[in-house]
Structure 1
């Protein structure tokens, strides 16, 4: 981790001068200030506010950085993380990136500056590698949940996207569906890639020719599925799907709303399945067939692994925990 002493040595000034620049306090010449600020930027120095006031080696504060707190999946993750942190004598800071790499970067810098002991993180996507390397550079332990990032060797708590997708597709195929559309998440997110891989492999193994025209990638959280659904419904009857696999709960809910607007009945005219359970909606019928992931355990087990790293009790090799989903069959996929 870069310190004010490293800055002072390279700038040929005293540590006190660097401290004054960082804290914007005391009298200092503009020329010296500019020189110090230039070196601070070159060395990517992030001030550690906690280190200024704490003499303890640990702050007993952990961070949970997730992508969308409005998603019921992550709400349950947060509950599991908070429960385990409190049980182990730690406090938990919650941050929400909104699937934004830029916002995630800002939070990572803030967390380092705040002096947290470790970070439990659902990365925004493959580009999060830059932020994870920043944590590594600053020697901040972290554990990834729900998603993984290629090239980053760390502890993981993830779901079994492949087998969850397989079971949902096999259910649809048993119901007689052979034209199944996939409305997937962004291709730069590991869960979306795993679900797409399973989609094509399971259809091939079932002797069903996959049609690229029936697959699409959209945001996991934005309400932008209407155009995709409209395009699917406008296909010639011979190519039009009779079932839709939605990559997550938000996509599924918006898909069903779009189908209703287009006077397409679920499940009579179109079956719908998805990953993760949405919050109950009183007037929403039918209920969704889905792969329910144990969200609470993602947070609970993730914090447990993180504390082991923070306290130096973890194994030498990084741990990889894969949590299987529970397949729940409801009305949205049943033939009427």
Structure 2
């Protein structure tokens, strides 16, 4: 813009007004799309703004209008494809409505979530979408909701917070999946999650996540319906990282009374579980069956393809953003979560349980690695 004498500084509304030969007030109304302005003036102002590469001062505009046209999104682990896909749904929907998105990752730490929400509020976001790290320690979310700031909870509920929740009924689909495993002959069903906990899982354990709590409730209901004892010893929470998950998998499969099927609570866990199975040179489903939550393209590329619980993750993001924008605009809420249901997709990774090997008590055996997965799990990570 050196020809216009604007090198080194931002173009202002006054600059656009001068170039369009209108008053500053007229230029502001045309650029802000408010108030009365003639078509001729609007065209001249917009043409001048384009010629000068004018960009509005978002901070100044937010101070004038009370809106930043920005949404804050707080999730536990952006590396988890589940949250990545949900965030894509949020950003696509927000963009169509003229909103930008600020995304914060908390590593599922409540303290980090509290800090993230405060930072976003300080940046004057118009509303928040939060996947709570804890469904029980929710005072910070209660304060946000009680302040009147638009808030939508994604994927998980929060006790004491009456904000709109966009989530799928996990208890129902977990019950259906567990019935399927039981009818396939399995009794030793293991469940692996990264949910942080201080002690081994038991009947008295208070689970700090509505999603994981619902999944375990669905499993227990299916066992109780068949009058079978629930395998509490095979529930593994606090599987913090890839090596921890691999160690847990090996322990579950090499114990005296091993698991005959492994259930991974998300895609990242699934990759580590599959890696451990591969290292043990076991076959799916000949030696151990496998089921995971969420359906990603790679789950169809393994041999056999994996049985999954598919959630409409992208649509959940769309619904969350839609619900929040309705709140921001002051419109009445509606049942945005209707039609969001998970599905059990049966592929080839669940078979009948295999008996323990007589040659190696307490272990399971399998064929050579070539008979296991034609697709290397490490290549999928």
TM-score bracket, shorter-length normalisation: 0.7 to 0.9
User: Bigger relative contact order, structure 1 or 2, given CA contacts below 8 A and separation 6+?
Assistant: 1
Assess, with a 3 A threshold, how the Cα gap between structure 1 residues 218 and 322 changes in structure 2: closer, same or farther.
farther
| Corresponding residue for residue 309 of structure 2 | 291
| Corresponding residue for residue 45 of structure 1 | none
Residue aligned with 1:272, SS:
strand
Residue pair 1:112, 1:135 contacting (<8 A) in 2 also? no
Cα drift, residue 102 of structure 1 = 2.2
Cα drift, residue 252 of structure 1 = 2.1
| Corresponding residue for residue 215 of structure 2 | 195
Unaligned residue ranges in structure 1 (runs of 5+): 1-48
Equivalent residues in 2 for 1:30-69 (5 A)? 54-69=63-78
- TM-score of the aligned structures, taking structure 1 as reference length: 0.77
Provide the C-alpha distance between the structure 2 equivalents of 1:282 and 1:320, rounded to a whole number of angstroms: 27
| Corresponding residue for residue 231 of structure 2 | 211
- TM-score of the aligned structures, taking structure 2 as reference length: 0.68
Equivalent residues in 2 for 1:209-248 (5 A)? 209-219=229-239, 223-236=243-256, 239-248=257-266
Unaligned residue ranges in structure 2 (runs of 5+): 1-57, 196-206, 355-381
Residue aligned with 2:272, SS:
helix
Provide the C-alpha distance between the structure 1 equivalents of 2:127 and 2:348, rounded to a whole number of angstroms: 43
Provide the C-alpha distance between the structure 2 equivalents of 1:206 and 1:51, rounded to a whole number of angstroms: 64
How many equivalent residue pairs?
A: 285
Task: Describe the superposition over 1:169-210 as per-residue Cα deviations: whole angstroms up to 9, x where unpaired.
Answer: 122223222221222342311111111111111012123221
Residue pair 1:101, 1:127 contacting (<8 A) in 2 also? no
| Corresponding residue for residue 98 of structure 2 | 89
Residue pair 1:76, 1:295 contacting (<8 A) in 2 also? yes
Assess, with a 3 A threshold, how the Cα gap between structure 1 residues 156 and 52 changes in structure 2: closer, same or farther.
same
Residue aligned with 1:119, SS:
strand
* Partner of residue 132 from structure 2, selected from 106, 123, 139: 123
- Structure 1, 99-108 or 156-165: larger mean CA deviation: 99-108
| Corresponding residue for residue 33 of structure 2 | none
The answer to whether structure 1 residue 181 and structure 2 residue 198 are counterparts is no
- Structure 1, 219-228 or 323-332: larger mean CA deviation: 219-228
Assess, with a 3 A threshold, how the Cα gap between structure 1 residues 222 and 128 changes in structure 2: closer, same or farther.
farther
Assess, with a 3 A threshold, how the Cα gap between structure 1 residues 52 and 221 changes in structure 2: closer, same or farther.
farther
Assess, with a 3 A threshold, how the Cα gap between structure 1 residues 282 and 215 changes in structure 2: closer, same or farther.
closer
Residue aligned with 1:126, SS:
coil
Alignment RMSD, CA only? 2.6
Q: Give 1 or 2 for the bigger CA radius of gyration.
A: 2
Assess, with a 3 A threshold, how the Cα gap between structure 1 residues 318 and 333 changes in structure 2: closer, same or farther.
closer
| Corresponding residue for residue 365 of structure 2 | none
Assess, with a 3 A threshold, how the Cα gap between structure 1 residues 203 and 185 changes in structure 2: closer, same or farther.
farther
The answer to whether structure 1 residue 157 and structure 2 residue 166 are counterparts is yes
Residue pair 2:299, 2:305 contacting (<8 A) in 1 also? no
Cα drift, residue 146 of structure 1 = 0.4
Cα drift, residue 269 of structure 1 = 0.5
| Corresponding residue for residue 12 of structure 1 | none
Residue aligned with 1:191, SS:
helix
